[in-house]
Structure 1
């Protein structure tokens, strides 16, 4: 683990930049960077969120943060669309004046998407260890982004990794590291360099991905911001 390690109470936490991710297997946290995350083709094929779904997720995220800040309570949203009640994991990112203010997410979840977004929104606003919790009233000055993650897929060879399409999660014992899909594209990494960099994030030696004890999983993401769905009244099919 690195200096960003912390504990989470619902699932396991790993992160990227000022990102932490939660994962059911442990309560460990790893920090990472905050790049802009493009939606990948694989994620688009798996998820068919409407613009109404996306707007509703932002409403849930904002209301959940406010309720937690003001009343220390959670609200359930059982009467949502089929898409929002389907199990899925997500990252929630907060920016203020173009600067990262918090980002926490999960790569595995058996909870409904609305519930996972609720939990990650609260965590991003209050438990990202790189930042002080949002102060009362600050949420209004923040822009939100949500990344809906595809299920993890286990791979055994760099040939199965598509840089720019896949993010990587490495796990070996208590060590774990995660890089989101856009990082390899941003830096022009091939699959092997992507693996080496993820090993470094995990505090492992560069070639630890070759160790049979190292688990390598990939994932993709559907990413959208509030600005993406503002004023969009109809869904284009």
Structure 2
């Protein structure tokens, strides 16, 4: 057999009666939907159930697959320890999946498990499924900070493993939608929240996995989404399959989006190989971006690409702007890949003879000397997005009222400790957030007083 049925479901703890204690009726549509899809899942008599959970072990650069023979868990964290689970893992499936990932170059495996206990993102779907069947083994998989395409590729490896082992496999993608749908919700409101929910549900309803894989990373972060990467792994298990999606419900009374959608497999469809389509779309997007880069960014890209390939500094190009050759300033060069920071090094005061030289030196440092990252590899160059921030004068300030996280960067200092944060960064919306991040970068204790300074930047993209 193979993957026979898949679904996307949420995991609000309140949906469990022993936790909700009556409040679960506020999401009764989700409960009814859960019952329907789990009854349908049981009708397939799955030998293996794969649960993909954002609350399992998560790493930025590695997809974790739970190891071992057995796992237990309960809802003690939510005051209901009497609701417990004891599950057997499908060890042969895990071993073959890890091998398939290794052959496909997917950074996934069973290493680095910090907590073997089942998480609530796994247990909530099991709570409903086990009302109808217990006759299966479990595979638990987490998500990561890797690209959307990598998560989809893991789904493809899951399907290949199911085919190879001739397992009847049900795939459950556990994940909420946006956590920022309402002002009075626990996470507040963001304008991206309702838009995210609407678009995800639209794409799932249409089986439009290409657009499900094409969300902007900053947009998703602002929406405070939970389950997108779970859904993308599930989508990968359906690569090349003809499907019939069905939306059962979508609600968000607590300010968090809960959607229930399933996918019935009805055959094969060669037009639904989305990995290649996504790669083509990405190449087109990068070509447009590179064509629009200004001279500051072009110099940074040229320097990084030459240095990564030849391990030496290139000659200075002849066609750089006069202002880049005659002016001096501090410069930060930032590299991003798949929406994630890939390197950022800079100088808040000029250290070179001109801005152009400052860009070259900091571009090399950003791609090869940022202690947070491994050096950039040659195969990554085509996927890098650059920005160059040219800093204005540093101004000491007396009060935080003189700061604005959109307009000004901040420098905090105490003795030899110094931390800098650029302005207008995704996820940094308040002065206090800006200061706390800068203090952390400086290695300051909570009770250490700090001198503050601000600066403006001109950001080149």
- The 3 A distance-change label for structure 1 pair 200 and 58 is closer
Structure 1 pair 194/59, CA: closer, same or farther in 2 (3 Å)?
A: closer
Distance in 2 (alpha carbons) for counterparts of 1:66 and 1:186: 29
Secondary structure of the equivalent of 1:100? strand
For residue 418 of structure 2, the aligned residue among 143, 152, 176 is 176
Q: Which runs of 4+ in 1 moved over 6 A?
A: none
Corresponding residue for 1:198? 438
Deviations 1:41-97 (A, max 9, x none): xxxxxxxxxxx9x62222221221233231423423577433212112221111222
SS in 1 for 2:323: helix
Normalised to the residue count of structure 2, the TM-score between the two structures is 0.33
Alignment of 1:59-138 (within 5 A): 59-69=298-308, 70-77=310-317, 80-85=320-325, 86-111=327-352, 112-138=354-380
Shift of 1:221: 1.6
Contact 2:396/2:454 (8 A) holds in 1: yes
Q: Per-residue deviation at 1:196?
A: 4.9
Q: 2:295 aligns to what?
A: 56
Secondary structure, counterpart of 2:346 in structure 1: strand
Counterpart residue number, 2:387:
145
Q: Is the alpha carbon distance of 1:224 and 1:110 closer, same or farther for their aligned partners in structure 2, counting shifts above 3 Å?
A: same
Query: 2:295 and 2:337 mapped to 1: Cα distance?
Result: 21
Give per-residue Cα distances to partners, 1:178-201, cap 9 Å, x unaligned.
222225x955434x6654553344
- Which of 390, 402, 407 is residue 160 of structure 1 equivalent to? 402
Q: Is the 8 A contact 2:405 2:428 kept in 1?
A: no
Judged with a 3 Å threshold, the aligned counterparts in structure 2 of structure 1 residues 153 and 78 are, in CA distance, closer, same or farther, namely farther
RMSD across aligned C-alpha pairs, in angstroms? 3.0
Normalization by structure 1: what TM-score?
A: 0.60
- Max Rg structure: 2
Secondary structure of 2:386 counterpart: strand
Partners of 1:87 and 1:113 within 8 A in 2: yes
Q: Which residue of 1 aligns with 2:430?
A: 189
> 2: CA distance between counterparts of 1:205 and 1:123?
28
CA contact (8 A) 2:294 2:460 kept: no
**Deviation at 1:208?**
3.2
SS in 1 for 2:359: helix
Deviation track 1:8-64 (CA, whole Å, cap 9, x = no partner) reads xxxxxxxxxxxxxxxxxxxxxxxxxxx89xxxxxxxxxxxxxxx9x62222221221
Aligned position for 2:163: none
The SS at the match of 1:182 is coil
* Structure 1 gap segments, 5+ residues each: 1-34, 37-51, 226-237
What are the Cα deviations for residues 215-237 of structure 1, in whole angstroms up to 9, with x where unaligned? 32211222232xxxxxxxxxxxx
Contact 1:64 1:74 (8 Å CA) reproduced: yes
How far has the Cα of 1:100 moved from its partner?
A: 1.9
Greater CA deviation, 75-84 or 116-125?
75-84
Give the Cα–Cα distance (whole angstroms) in 2 for the partners of residues 119 and 92 of structure 1.
9
Q: CA separation of 1:100/1:110 partners in 2, compared to 1, >3 Å: closer, same or farther?
A: closer
Q: Distance in 1 between matches of 2:301 and 2:429?
A: 35
